[in-house]
Homo-oligomer: A and B are copies of this chain.
C-alpha cells in the first residue's frame, strides 16, 4: 500500500512517546521523519530492537532513537523509546511517520459507476474500477485500478481495495479493511452434484460473503460466497496471500492465516487461531478458539482443545536417504505387526 516515504515536518520524540505510551529516555524535542533498520538509520530516523541477533546493530546504530524494551535499554547508545511491547509500538510509530497516502476523492473518468450505486463523495475510485448497480461505498473508501464491486455489495468506511480486486454481488465488507491486489471475494463455491452418467450439475451459489471490520486479505486470495448462507470472516482476521476459503466457512475474530492455506467448504475456525503456511483444513469440521497449527498440517477431524498441532510434514533430508525412508513408509503397518510378533517371542 502506498505510504508517505517520510513525515515531512517530522514528529518529536516527545510526541511519539506520548502518542504511543512509551517512556522516553532522551531529549523530547528531537525531530524524526521516518523509520529505518538499526544498521541503516541516520539522525532523522527511529529504529527498533527486538531480537538479540541484532545486538551489534543496536550498539552501533546512528538512529535518532530506538524503540526497545527496558531490559535492553542499557545497550542503546542513543535516545530510547521504552515499552514492554516494542513491536507493537514500532507499528504505531511507523504509522505515525508513514501515513497511508491520503485519498484523492472523486471518480476517475475511466471508472464506471452504475446507475443506482451510491459512492460517497469522500471516496477515491481509480481508473478502470467498476461499481455495480445498487452497490454502496461508505465514507473514505478507496478502490484501486480495475477493482470490481458487484451489484448490491457494500464496502464499509475507510476500507481500501487495491488493484484488480473483485468483490462479488451482495458482499458485505466491513470498515477499515484492506484487500490486496487480485484477491477475489464472493466467487462461486465449488458445489457440484454428481449425475449417474458421471457428469456434474452446478449447484447455484446463492449466499454471499460477510467480512467484518479491520480485516486484511492478501493478494490473490480467494473467498467463495456461501451456497445458501454466507461465508463469514470475523473482525480483525488476517489472511495472507493465495489462500482459499471455501463456501460457508466461518473464520473467527482475530484469527491469522498464513499464505497458501486451503480451507474447504463449511469449516468453522475459531477465534485467535494462528495458522501457518500451507495448512489444509477439510470441510465440515470445527476448530475451536486459540488453536495453533504448524506449517503444512492437514486437519481432517475437528479440533476441540486449544493447543498447538502439527502433521503432514516430515523432515527434509538428503535425497538418497529420503528415498529409502519414504519407501519404507508404505510398509509401516507391516513393520508394526512384525515388531509385535517379535515381542511375543520369549
Contact = CB atoms under 8 A, between A and B. Distances in A.
A295 B298 contact: yes
Nearest to A97: B204
7 contacts: A98-B206, A108-B112, A162-B166, A220-B222, A264-B277, A335-B335, A335-B336
A62 interface: no
A148 B169 contact: no
Given A163-B166, A199-B254, A262-B259, A204 B3 contact: yes
Interface string A314-333: 11111101111111111111
A92 interface: yes
Nearest to A289: B198
A272 B196 CA distance: 11
Given A246-B259, A308-B319, A328-B335, 4 more contacts: A110-B128, A198-B272, A244-B277, A315-B327
B127 A112 contact: yes
A80 interface: no
Interface string A187-223: 1101011111011111111100000001010111010
Contacts of A158: none
Contact of A314 (B92, B280, B311): B311
Contacts of A76: none
Contacts of A192: 216, 238, 256
Greatest chain B CB density within 10 A among A150, A260, A294 is at A260
Interface size classification for chain A? 35 or more
B297 A228 contact: no
Interface string A72-110: 000000000000010110111011001000000000101
Interface of A is mostly: loop
Interface of A: 1-3, 5, 35-37, 40, 85, 87-88, 90-92, 94-95, 98, 108, 110, 112, 126-128, 130, 144-146, 148, 150-151, 162-164, 166, 169-170, 178, 180-182, 184, 187-188, 190, 192-196, 198-206, 214, 216, 218-220, 222, 224, 228-229, 236, 238, 240-242, 244, 246, 253-254, 256, 258-260, 262, 264, 271-272, 277-278, 280, 282, 292-301, 303, 307-319, 321-333, 335-336, 338-339, 342-343
Contact of A200 (B180, B238, B299, B335): B238
Given A316-B298, A319-B308, A338-B343, A2 B326 contact: no
B319 A193 contact: no
Nearest to A323: B310
A181 B184 contact: yes
A241 B223 CA distance: 9
A38 B98 CA distance: 51
The 6 nearest A-B residue pairs measured at CB? A311-B316, A324-B333, A187-B219, A166-B181, A112-B127, A163-B166
A130 to B, nearest CB: 4
A315 B332 CA distance: 12
Contacts of A91: 193, 201-204
A190 B258 contact: yes
Contacts of A95: 204
